[in-house]
A and B are shown apart, each in its own frame.
Chain A
């Protein structure tokens, strides 16, 4: 069971002329829950956006289910939750309409059949939003938006979930729902790659943490334990980051 579902080897990426990833190695094995941690600007979002092909990588190899990303076509095996604070677009849309777009990867020619609609309903039930199915997403709270985005990712019944800061701007009640949803998915054998700012209520689920700093892997192993006040239940990790976090370190060793 050591088969890797995501593997990055020596991945480099630039945004403009600024190097954001400087040779990142990262592997998620089947059934594993891996958290990608790091300060703002450490490259964790760029790393997942490189995996899905939204950001071009300049060097290195990315494989999804053992297939080079450029040749990977089985996108229904991947569920993606982008970093968003809202699920809304410029035109009103219902919760069901948004979640149904997650099922397109399994639908031929964009035609949703009975089984597809059933899968959309199941995804909504998983995040506890079935009673809001016909509501406009504009009428939802921040936590409910996030639940809709996660239901959209679950609609294709993926084997791998990639989530970029799923807990950002989510109230504690929704965080618990999301943690519960994720626990259910993991129990069914879904592999998960999560970008997180802090471990929070997901901590017990996480098998391994990869910490990025300035585009390099700083730590790959058991998740770092929160200490002191950070370890208190319900601790809301909100404080301005120190200047060295915002400004990438330029040691010259790797650039």
Chain B
């Protein structure tokens, strides 16, 4: 494995694997609460942070983290107190974030849209030693939240109204989800780029759903897909000289298509198994038995 001989590739692979784990871990809750595009929205807002980072000559990564956390909290507040329609308010936040990023970066001395490219599409090979430390710390925070609070987050994402009556701090958990998503976006920014971040949060979950029946299995399979595609994409980009970010996203979509194709025969087999199990007691087909004997009653 000559790929591991290079220190920059070791760092790249480590960063990619961490993102492969955390992006679907947060994404599964966003998909569950039907906010699949929230990651995309945060990605747009993070652009303003990158632009501000250049303008103020501070780290674009930490500035992007700060601004996207603020943006995510603002989105959550709009959802609560929504005076205008929620989707319109969010749309304005998305476009404002993008326009702000382009504006700030062009105001920065010597800055141009070219500086944005590595943040928009990722630059995995330039991940530094200190980046790896930051990514590891942030990934640990994300995993602590998404695994440690999985039952609470599941309840709130499944049915917010019901979760309130179980006494859960619904607002705090919603804010925590938003902040965790924002952190994930900025971590993944280096790997796949802001414009493709959401794909890594949503598509592995959508792909996993093709096979799974439970939330726990969906979570696990989505993370497995996330890790596979980030490793696969990084290795491919090393040998084939293609951009890692887009390779990872295309592989994820490939996994979705492959699992969808695989899922329909699986579903048919499950249906047959169910029919066979029911055949003993209850006819699965619309056949009317000539005489109703005791064997045609359902045994519970």
Residues in chain A within 8 A of chain B (CB atoms) = 49, 52-54, 73, 75-76, 78-80, 82, 84, 87, 89-94, 97-98, 100-102, 104-105, 107, 110-112, 128, 131, 134-136, 138-139, 152, 156, 162
Are B162 and A101 in contact (CB-based, < 8 A)? yes
**B142-163 interface mask toward A, CB cutoff 8 Å, 1 = contact, 0 = none?**
0000000111101101110111
Residues in chain B within 8 A of chain A (CB atoms) = 28, 31-34, 36, 149-152, 154-155, 157-159, 161-168, 205, 209, 212-218, 300
For A136, what are the chain B residues with a Cβ–Cβ distance below 8 Å? Answer: 213-214
Are B158 and A104 in contact (CB-based, < 8 A)? no
Known: A80-B162, A82-B161, A91-B205. A101 touches B214 (CB 8 A): no
Distance (Å) between the CB of B284 and the closest chain A CB? 13
Partner of B166, one of A84, A89, A104: A104
For A79, what are the chain B residues with a Cβ–Cβ distance below 8 Å? Answer: 165
Partner of A82, one of B32, B36, B150, B159: B159
Contact sample, A vs B, 10 pairs, CB 8 Å cutoff: A53-B164, A54-B161, A80-B162, A89-B32, A92-B218, A93-B214, A98-B158, A101-B163, A104-B163, A139-B213
The chain A residue with its CB closest to the CB of B299 is: A131
Task: Kindly name the residue among A54, A76, A101, A152 whose own CB sees the greatest number of chain B CB atoms within 10 A.
Answer: A101
For B155, what are the chain A residues with a Cβ–Cβ distance below 8 Å? Answer: 101, 104
For B157, what are the chain A residues with a Cβ–Cβ distance below 8 Å? Answer: 89
For B217, what are the chain A residues with a Cβ–Cβ distance below 8 Å? Answer: 92
Q: Chain B's interface: helix, strand, loop or mixed, by majority?
A: helix
Are B162 and A82 in contact (CB-based, < 8 A)? yes
The chain B residue with its CB closest to the CB of A101 is: B155
Are A90 and B161 in contact (CB-based, < 8 A)? no
Distance (Å) between the CB of B126 and the closest chain A CB? 35
Are A89 and B149 in contact (CB-based, < 8 A)? no
For A102, what are the chain B residues with a Cβ–Cβ distance below 8 Å? Answer: 162, 166
Are A91 and B162 in contact (CB-based, < 8 A)? no
Distance (Å) between the CB of B244 and the closest chain A CB? 28
Q: Which 5 A-B pairs have the closest CB atoms?
A: A75-B167, A101-B155, A136-B213, A80-B165, A105-B166
Partner of A97, one of B31, B209, B214: B214
Are B159 and A89 in contact (CB-based, < 8 A)? yes
**CA of A156 to CA of B165 in the docked complex: distance in angstroms?**
11
For A93, what are the chain B residues with a Cβ–Cβ distance below 8 Å? Answer: 154, 158, 214-215
Are A104 and B213 in contact (CB-based, < 8 A)? no
The chain A residue with its CB closest to the CB of B158 is: A89
Distance (Å) between the CB of B9 and the closest chain A CB? 34
Distance (Å) between the CB of B75 and the closest chain A CB? 17
**CA of A114 to CA of B49 in the docked complex: distance in angstroms?**
47
For A111, what are the chain B residues with a Cβ–Cβ distance below 8 Å? Answer: 151
Known: A54-B164, A101-B158, A104-B168. A135 touches B151 (CB 8 A): no
Are A94 and B31 in contact (CB-based, < 8 A)? no
Distance (Å) between the CB of A122 and the closest chain B CB? 15
Are A92 and B212 in contact (CB-based, < 8 A)? yes
